[in-house]
């Protein structure tokens, strides 16, 4: 950890990457993260299940894209702290030559990034410290590792919910997907306040989060989520609770998941 990184880490306010790590059973979090995590859980008792379902979605999607769609390049934006079955491990288990670029802007993720950089000898993993609000910077950095003339799977799991303005969030997605060729993929998860997925609990939980933690978050309804996938061909089963994507028996959680292919 260098001094610059150290100075960016705040232990007096809960950070999303660390609270997400707490909900997933990890140890890379501080008392303030656990206190806020527990408060959110009291308002939204299913939140731990959301985090686990989201990671399981990542595993199924990356396995599918590597094994069946033949994708060998992954751009994982809003990576989170290293946990079990990180994107490069899932992809390189199927195809050791896979190349992965991780992107996050949380200083604690940066300090743990070396745990993400354990590539298979045939492949590459890289970590970029960048903000999702600046997709051009992400693309410039990713181009050092990924061939943007060849298909890329762009993973944005639980990250667009930190871009509060819907137009800006759509513009970020458009910039990223415009930069990759036909045959590329976009995989998304996003929390919802839609009542049919039990999303009412997100309303009070996010209000609490926004008063006590960082960065601020928003939920979106099905229509708002669907617009991120405009112009892409949706893979089966379309837009569902991320728990149910190719796991039809699973219990739904209040988080959408979908994968689109650029035609």
Ligand X SMILES: C[S@@+](CC[C@H](N)C(=O)[O-])C[C@H]1O[C@@H](n2cnc3c(N)ncnc32)[C@H](O)[C@@H]1O
Residues of this chain that bind ligand X (CB under 6 A) = 16-17, 20, 54-55, 58, 78-80, 104-106, 109, 131-133, 157-159, 162, 215
Q: To the nearest whole angstrom, how small is the minimum distance from the Cβ of residue 134 to ligand X? A: 8
Token readout for 77 is 């934006």
Whichever of 132 and 235 has its CB closer to ligand X, that residue is 132
Whichever of 104 and 193 has its CB closer to ligand X, that residue is 104
Whichever of 122 and 136 has its CB closer to ligand X, that residue is 136
Whichever of 1 and 181 has its CB closer to ligand X, that residue is 1
Evaluate whether 40 touches 47 at the Cβ level (below 8 Å): yes
Q: To the nearest whole angstrom, how small is the minimum distance from the Cβ of residue 131 to ligand X? A: 4
Whichever of 73 and 87 has its CB closer to ligand X, that residue is 87
Q: To the nearest whole angstrom, how small is the minimum distance from the Cβ of residue 149 to ligand X? A: 25
Q: To the nearest whole angstrom, how small is the minimum distance from the Cβ of residue 50 to ligand X? A: 9
Q: To the nearest whole angstrom, how small is the minimum distance from the Cβ of residue 150 to ligand X? A: 23
Give the CB-nearest residue to ligand X. 80
């Amino acid at each position: 950890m260098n001094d610059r990184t150290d100075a960016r880490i705040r232990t007096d306010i809960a950070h999303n990457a660390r609270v997400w790590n707490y909900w997933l059973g990890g140890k890379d979090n501080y008392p303030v993260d656990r206190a806020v995590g527990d408060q959110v859980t009291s308002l939204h008792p299913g939140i731990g299940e959301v985090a686990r379902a989201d990671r399981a979605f990542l595993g199924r999607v990356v396995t599918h894209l590597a094994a069946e769609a033949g994708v060998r390049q992954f751009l994982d934006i809003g990576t989170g702290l290293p946990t079990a079955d990180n994107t490069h491990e899932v992809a390189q288990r199927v195809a050791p030559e896979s190349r992965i670029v991780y992107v996050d802007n949380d200083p604690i993720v940066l300090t743990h990034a070396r745990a993400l950089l354990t590539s298979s000898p045939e492949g590459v993993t890289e970590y970029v410290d960048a903000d999702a609000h600046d997709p051009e910077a992400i693309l410039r950095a990713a181009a050092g590792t990924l061939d943007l003339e060849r298909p890329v799977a762009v993973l944005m799991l639980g990250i667009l919910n930190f871009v509060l303005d819907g137009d800006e969030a759509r513009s970020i997605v458009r910039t990223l997907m415009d930069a990759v060729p036909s045959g590329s993929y976009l995989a998304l998860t996003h929390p919802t306040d839609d009542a049919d997925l039990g999303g009412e609990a997100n309303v009070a939980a996010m209000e609490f989060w926004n008063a006590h933690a960082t960065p601020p978050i928003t939920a979106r309804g099905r229509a708002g989520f669907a617009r991120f996938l405009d112009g892409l061909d949706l893979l089966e089963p379309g837009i569902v609770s991320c728990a149910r994507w190719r796991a039809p028996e699973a219990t739904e959680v209040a988080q959408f998941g979908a994968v689109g292919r650029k035609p």
